[in-house]
Structure 1
Amino acid sequence: DNNRKVTYVEEDQSHPDHPDRFDSSNQLLCRTGLTGRCYWEVEWRGEVTVSVSYRGIRRKGYSEDCVFGYNDQSWILNCSDEGYSVCHNKTVTDITSSSSSSSSSGRVAVYVDCPAGSLSFYRVSSDTLIHLHTFSTTFTEPLYPGFRFWSGSGSSVSLCPL
Protein backbone atom coordinates (compact mmCIF):
# COMPACT_ATOMS: atom_id res chain seq x y z
CA ASP A 1 0.00 0.00 0.00
CA ASN A 2 3.03 2.32 -0.30
CA ASN A 3 2.83 3.15 3.42
CA ARG A 4 -0.65 4.65 2.91
CA LYS A 5 -2.68 2.24 5.08
CA VAL A 6 -2.51 1.25 8.74
CA THR A 7 -4.63 -1.49 10.32
CA TYR A 8 -4.97 -2.04 14.07
CA VAL A 9 -4.30 -5.58 15.28
CA GLU A 10 -4.50 -6.95 18.83
CA GLU A 11 -1.34 -9.06 18.60
CA ASP A 12 1.96 -7.50 19.63
CA GLN A 13 4.11 -6.67 16.63
CA SER A 14 7.85 -7.22 16.58
CA HIS A 15 9.32 -3.78 15.88
CA PRO A 16 12.57 -2.39 17.26
CA ASP A 17 12.22 0.39 19.80
CA HIS A 18 12.43 3.88 18.33
CA PRO A 19 12.42 7.25 20.13
CA ASP A 20 9.64 8.56 17.86
CA ARG A 21 7.27 5.69 18.74
CA PHE A 22 4.36 6.32 21.11
CA ASP A 23 4.74 3.73 23.83
CA SER A 24 1.34 3.90 25.54
CA SER A 25 -1.13 4.88 22.82
CA ASN A 26 -2.17 3.13 19.63
CA GLN A 27 -1.22 6.12 17.54
CA LEU A 28 1.32 7.24 14.96
CA LEU A 29 2.62 10.44 13.45
CA CYS A 30 3.44 10.67 9.75
CA ARG A 31 7.03 11.31 8.74
CA THR A 32 6.30 14.17 6.33
CA GLY A 33 5.28 17.55 7.72
CA LEU A 34 2.73 20.02 6.41
CA THR A 35 3.57 23.46 5.09
CA GLY A 36 1.50 26.21 3.54
CA ARG A 37 -1.94 24.95 2.57
CA CYS A 38 -2.56 21.20 2.53
CA TYR A 39 -5.55 18.99 1.74
CA TRP A 40 -5.87 15.24 2.12
CA GLU A 41 -8.57 12.60 2.44
CA VAL A 42 -8.68 9.56 4.70
CA GLU A 43 -10.76 6.41 4.33
CA TRP A 44 -11.49 5.04 7.81
CA ARG A 45 -13.04 1.92 9.34
CA GLY A 46 -13.82 1.12 12.98
CA GLU A 47 -13.01 3.67 15.71
CA VAL A 48 -10.19 5.98 14.69
CA THR A 49 -8.82 9.46 15.23
CA VAL A 50 -7.44 11.71 12.52
CA SER A 51 -4.96 14.16 14.02
CA VAL A 52 -2.88 17.17 13.11
CA SER A 53 -0.06 17.54 15.60
CA TYR A 54 3.22 19.24 16.37
CA ARG A 55 6.14 16.85 16.06
CA GLY A 56 7.20 17.63 19.62
CA ILE A 57 4.15 15.96 21.19
CA ARG A 58 5.18 13.83 24.15
CA ARG A 59 5.48 10.14 23.22
CA LYS A 60 6.67 8.35 26.34
CA GLY A 61 4.59 7.64 29.42
CA TYR A 62 0.93 7.23 30.24
CA SER A 63 -0.26 10.81 30.68
CA GLU A 64 -2.82 12.63 28.53
CA ASP A 65 0.05 14.74 27.21
CA CYS A 66 0.84 11.75 24.97
CA VAL A 67 -2.69 11.38 23.56
CA PHE A 68 -3.76 13.25 20.42
CA GLY A 69 -6.32 15.94 21.26
CA TYR A 70 -5.74 15.97 25.02
CA ASN A 71 -3.01 18.61 24.98
CA ASP A 72 -2.10 21.89 23.30
CA GLN A 73 0.07 20.05 20.76
CA SER A 74 -2.65 18.43 18.63
CA TRP A 75 -6.12 18.81 17.10
CA ILE A 76 -8.28 15.79 16.28
CA LEU A 77 -11.36 14.42 14.58
CA ASN A 78 -12.74 11.22 16.16
CA CYS A 79 -14.56 8.94 13.71
CA SER A 80 -16.82 6.05 14.76
CA ASP A 81 -20.20 4.46 14.19
CA GLU A 82 -21.56 6.92 16.77
CA GLY A 83 -20.59 9.88 14.59
CA TYR A 84 -17.86 12.47 14.85
CA SER A 85 -16.32 14.66 17.52
CA VAL A 86 -13.36 17.03 17.63
CA CYS A 87 -10.97 17.78 20.46
CA HIS A 88 -8.09 20.11 21.30
CA ASN A 89 -6.47 20.57 24.72
CA LYS A 90 -9.07 18.26 26.37
CA THR A 91 -12.03 20.26 25.02
CA VAL A 92 -14.31 17.81 23.21
CA THR A 93 -17.06 18.99 20.86
CA ASP A 94 -19.57 16.44 19.60
CA ILE A 95 -20.77 17.00 16.06
CA THR A 96 -24.46 16.19 16.22
CA SER A 97 -25.84 17.97 13.18
CA SER A 98 -26.95 16.40 9.92
CA SER A 99 -23.32 16.70 8.81
CA SER A 100 -22.46 13.77 11.09
CA SER A 101 -23.76 10.42 9.94
CA SER A 102 -23.62 7.07 11.74
CA SER A 103 -21.49 4.53 9.96
CA SER A 104 -18.69 2.12 10.88
CA SER A 105 -16.65 3.43 7.96
CA GLY A 106 -16.36 6.54 5.88
CA ARG A 107 -14.19 9.11 4.25
CA VAL A 108 -13.10 12.41 5.74
CA ALA A 109 -11.06 15.33 4.44
CA VAL A 110 -8.61 17.61 6.20
CA TYR A 111 -7.68 21.10 5.04
CA VAL A 112 -5.03 23.07 6.88
CA ASP A 113 -3.94 26.59 6.05
CA CYS A 114 -0.85 27.00 8.22
CA PRO A 115 -0.24 30.75 7.61
CA ALA A 116 -3.92 31.58 8.26
CA GLY A 117 -4.11 29.34 11.36
CA SER A 118 -7.08 27.38 10.05
CA LEU A 119 -7.71 23.63 10.32
CA SER A 120 -10.95 22.20 8.90
CA PHE A 121 -12.42 18.70 8.92
CA TYR A 122 -15.03 17.51 6.43
CA ARG A 123 -17.05 14.39 5.74
CA VAL A 124 -16.80 13.27 2.12
CA SER A 125 -20.05 11.97 0.66
CA SER A 126 -20.34 11.22 -3.06
CA ASP A 127 -17.47 13.61 -3.77
CA THR A 128 -19.22 16.38 -1.80
CA LEU A 129 -17.50 18.00 1.18
CA ILE A 130 -19.72 18.39 4.25
CA HIS A 131 -18.15 20.73 6.81
CA LEU A 132 -17.77 19.22 10.28
CA HIS A 133 -15.60 21.69 12.22
CA THR A 134 -12.94 24.38 11.86
CA PHE A 135 -10.28 25.21 14.45
CA SER A 136 -8.83 28.73 14.30
CA THR A 137 -5.49 29.24 16.01
CA THR A 138 -1.93 30.39 15.49
CA PHE A 139 0.28 27.46 14.56
CA THR A 140 3.70 27.96 16.15
CA GLU A 141 5.47 24.87 14.75
CA PRO A 142 5.33 22.64 11.67
CA LEU A 143 2.34 20.28 11.65
CA TYR A 144 2.17 16.52 10.98
CA PRO A 145 -0.75 14.22 10.20
CA GLY A 146 -1.37 11.49 12.76
CA PHE A 147 -3.77 8.65 13.48
CA ARG A 148 -5.01 6.83 16.57
CA PHE A 149 -6.90 3.57 16.96
CA TRP A 150 -9.29 3.32 19.89
CA SER A 151 -10.24 -0.33 19.85
CA GLY A 152 -11.26 -3.18 17.66
CA SER A 153 -8.98 -5.33 15.65
CA GLY A 154 -9.39 -4.44 12.00
CA SER A 155 -9.87 -0.69 12.47
CA SER A 156 -7.92 1.03 9.71
CA VAL A 157 -7.03 4.31 8.04
CA SER A 158 -5.89 4.83 4.46
CA LEU A 159 -4.56 7.98 2.87
CA CYS A 160 -6.58 8.36 -0.33
CA PRO A 161 -4.99 9.17 -3.67
CA LEU A 162 -6.34 12.45 -5.03
Structure 2
Amino acid sequence: MAEARILVDQKEFMCAVCLDPVALPCGHSYCKSCITECWDHEDQMRVYSCPQCRQTFSLRPRNTMLAEVVEKLKKAKLSADCYAGAGDVQCDVCTGRKYKAVKSCLVCLESYCQTHFEQHEEFHSRKPHKVTEATGRLQEMICQKHEKLLEVFCRTDQKCICVLCDEHKNNDTVSAAAQRTEK
Protein backbone atom coordinates (compact mmCIF):
# COMPACT_ATOMS: atom_id res chain seq x y z
CA MET A 1 0.00 0.00 0.00
CA ALA A 2 1.39 3.41 -0.93
CA GLU A 3 2.26 5.82 1.82
CA ALA A 4 1.49 9.50 1.44
CA ARG A 5 3.21 12.55 2.85
CA ILE A 6 0.84 15.27 3.96
CA LEU A 7 2.32 18.53 5.06
CA VAL A 8 0.11 20.30 7.59
CA ASP A 9 1.50 23.20 9.54
CA GLN A 10 0.58 22.52 13.17
CA LYS A 11 0.73 26.26 13.91
CA GLU A 12 -2.58 26.56 12.05
CA PHE A 13 -4.26 24.80 14.97
CA MET A 14 -2.40 26.24 17.97
CA CYS A 15 -3.86 28.58 20.59
CA ALA A 16 -1.77 31.73 20.82
CA VAL A 17 -2.20 31.68 24.63
CA CYS A 18 -1.76 28.12 25.87
CA LEU A 19 -0.76 26.29 22.66
CA ASP A 20 -3.70 23.82 22.70
CA PRO A 21 -5.54 23.52 19.37
CA VAL A 22 -9.05 24.74 18.41
CA ALA A 23 -9.71 26.50 15.08
CA LEU A 24 -12.52 29.03 14.46
CA PRO A 25 -14.27 29.53 11.10
CA CYS A 26 -12.31 32.76 10.60
CA GLY A 27 -9.11 30.69 10.62
CA HIS A 28 -7.71 31.76 13.99
CA SER A 29 -6.92 29.10 16.59
CA TYR A 30 -7.35 28.93 20.37
CA CYS A 31 -7.71 26.27 23.01
CA LYS A 32 -11.17 25.33 24.25
CA SER A 33 -10.65 26.75 27.76
CA CYS A 34 -9.30 30.11 26.53
CA ILE A 35 -12.03 30.71 23.96
CA THR A 36 -14.75 29.53 26.37
CA GLU A 37 -13.52 31.98 29.01
CA CYS A 38 -13.46 34.77 26.46
CA TRP A 39 -16.96 33.99 25.18
CA ASP A 40 -18.43 33.63 28.69
CA HIS A 41 -18.11 37.43 28.90
CA GLU A 42 -20.12 37.79 25.67
CA ASP A 43 -22.97 35.39 26.65
CA GLN A 44 -25.40 38.18 27.59
CA MET A 45 -25.29 39.71 24.08
CA ARG A 46 -25.54 36.32 22.31
CA VAL A 47 -22.90 37.51 19.85
CA TYR A 48 -19.47 35.91 19.94
CA SER A 49 -16.31 37.18 18.30
CA CYS A 50 -12.79 36.11 17.49
CA PRO A 51 -10.37 37.78 19.92
CA GLN A 52 -7.91 38.43 17.10
CA CYS A 53 -9.89 39.64 14.07
CA ARG A 54 -13.19 40.44 15.86
CA GLN A 55 -15.24 38.48 13.30
CA THR A 56 -18.60 37.83 14.94
CA PHE A 57 -20.68 34.65 15.17
CA SER A 58 -24.34 34.45 16.19
CA LEU A 59 -23.78 31.06 17.82
CA ARG A 60 -20.74 29.71 19.54
CA PRO A 61 -18.95 27.98 16.67
CA ARG A 62 -18.22 24.32 17.06
CA ASN A 63 -14.63 23.16 16.93
CA THR A 64 -13.85 23.17 13.20
CA MET A 65 -10.27 21.92 13.49
CA LEU A 66 -11.06 18.30 12.64
CA ALA A 67 -13.30 19.33 9.73
CA GLU A 68 -10.48 21.47 8.31
CA VAL A 69 -7.95 18.66 8.63
CA VAL A 70 -10.30 16.25 6.87
CA GLU A 71 -10.84 18.81 4.10
CA LYS A 72 -7.08 19.21 3.65
CA LEU A 73 -6.68 15.45 3.44
CA LYS A 74 -9.38 15.25 0.78
CA LYS A 75 -7.68 17.95 -1.28
CA ALA A 76 -4.23 16.39 -0.93
CA LYS A 77 -3.08 14.48 -3.94
CA LEU A 78 -2.28 11.27 -2.14
CA SER A 79 -1.28 9.42 -5.26
CA ALA A 80 1.09 12.22 -6.28
CA ASP A 81 3.36 11.67 -3.28
CA CYS A 82 3.58 7.88 -3.22
CA TYR A 83 6.75 5.91 -3.57
CA ALA A 84 7.84 5.13 -7.12
CA GLY A 85 7.22 1.58 -8.19
CA ALA A 86 8.25 -0.48 -11.17
CA GLY A 87 7.63 1.49 -14.36
CA ASP A 88 7.21 4.82 -12.54
CA VAL A 89 9.50 7.78 -13.11
CA GLN A 90 11.42 8.50 -9.90
CA CYS A 91 11.99 11.94 -8.41
CA ASP A 92 15.60 12.93 -9.11
CA VAL A 93 15.79 15.08 -5.97
CA CYS A 94 14.47 12.66 -3.34
CA THR A 95 17.13 11.00 -1.25
CA GLY A 96 16.76 7.50 0.13
CA ARG A 97 13.56 5.88 -1.08
CA LYS A 98 12.39 7.79 -4.15
CA TYR A 99 8.88 9.20 -4.59
CA LYS A 100 6.98 8.99 -7.86
CA ALA A 101 7.68 11.96 -10.16
CA VAL A 102 4.70 14.01 -11.34
CA LYS A 103 6.52 16.51 -13.58
CA SER A 104 9.77 16.72 -15.54
CA CYS A 105 11.63 19.97 -16.26
CA LEU A 106 12.98 20.24 -19.79
CA VAL A 107 15.42 22.96 -18.71
CA CYS A 108 16.89 21.30 -15.61
CA LEU A 109 16.51 17.80 -17.14
CA GLU A 110 15.17 16.46 -13.86
CA SER A 111 11.93 14.84 -12.73
CA TYR A 112 10.17 15.88 -9.52
CA CYS A 113 7.68 14.49 -7.01
CA GLN A 114 4.87 16.87 -6.03
CA THR A 115 6.79 18.36 -3.09
CA HIS A 116 10.01 18.95 -5.03
CA PHE A 117 8.07 20.22 -8.06
CA GLU A 118 6.42 22.89 -5.90
CA GLN A 119 9.88 23.92 -4.64
CA HIS A 120 11.18 23.98 -8.23
CA GLU A 121 8.29 26.20 -9.35
CA GLU A 122 8.77 28.55 -6.41
CA PHE A 123 12.52 28.82 -7.08
CA HIS A 124 11.97 29.51 -10.80
CA SER A 125 8.88 31.69 -10.39
CA ARG A 126 10.48 34.75 -12.03
CA LYS A 127 11.36 32.84 -15.20
CA PRO A 128 9.26 29.66 -15.36
CA HIS A 129 10.85 26.59 -16.90
CA LYS A 130 9.22 24.42 -19.53
CA VAL A 131 7.78 21.37 -17.79
CA THR A 132 5.95 18.27 -18.96
CA GLU A 133 4.27 15.27 -17.40
CA ALA A 134 6.86 13.06 -15.75
CA THR A 135 8.90 11.20 -18.30
CA GLY A 136 11.95 9.00 -18.14
CA ARG A 137 12.82 10.04 -21.69
CA LEU A 138 14.12 13.55 -20.99
CA GLN A 139 17.35 13.05 -22.96
CA GLU A 140 15.32 12.05 -26.03
CA MET A 141 13.51 15.41 -25.94
CA ILE A 142 16.71 17.47 -26.10
CA CYS A 143 18.90 18.12 -29.16
CA GLN A 144 22.24 16.40 -28.50
CA LYS A 145 24.09 18.98 -30.64
CA HIS A 146 22.62 22.21 -29.23
CA GLU A 147 21.14 21.04 -25.90
CA LYS A 148 17.84 22.71 -26.79
CA LEU A 149 14.31 21.35 -26.63
CA LEU A 150 13.17 19.50 -29.77
CA GLU A 151 10.28 21.86 -30.58
CA VAL A 152 10.26 21.61 -34.39
CA PHE A 153 9.29 18.67 -36.58
CA CYS A 154 11.11 18.29 -39.91
CA ARG A 155 8.60 16.73 -42.30
CA THR A 156 11.30 16.18 -44.90
CA ASP A 157 13.46 14.06 -42.59
CA GLN A 158 10.56 12.87 -40.40
CA LYS A 159 12.18 13.77 -37.08
CA CYS A 160 12.05 16.34 -34.31
CA ILE A 161 14.76 19.02 -34.27
CA CYS A 162 15.61 22.12 -32.27
CA VAL A 163 15.32 25.67 -33.59
CA LEU A 164 19.13 25.90 -34.01
CA CYS A 165 19.50 22.89 -36.33
CA ASP A 166 20.64 24.73 -39.53
CA GLU A 167 20.84 21.61 -41.68
CA HIS A 168 17.01 21.57 -41.79
CA LYS A 169 16.44 25.28 -42.58
CA ASN A 170 15.31 24.68 -46.20
CA ASN A 171 13.19 21.65 -45.28
CA ASP A 172 9.44 21.50 -44.68
CA THR A 173 9.12 22.14 -40.92
CA VAL A 174 6.28 22.75 -38.46
CA SER A 175 6.09 23.01 -34.70
CA ALA A 176 6.26 19.65 -32.96
CA ALA A 177 2.96 20.48 -31.23
CA ALA A 178 1.26 21.12 -34.59
CA GLN A 179 2.57 17.82 -35.96
CA ARG A 180 1.31 15.93 -32.90
CA THR A 181 -2.11 17.54 -33.32
CA GLU A 182 -2.17 16.65 -37.00
CA LYS A 183 -1.28 13.01 -36.35
Structure ranking higher on relative contact order (CA contacts 8 Å, 6+ apart): 1
- TM-score band by shorter chain is under 0.3
Larger Rg computed on CA atoms: 2
Give the structure with the higher percent helix. Answer: 2
TM-score normalised to structure 2 length: 0.18
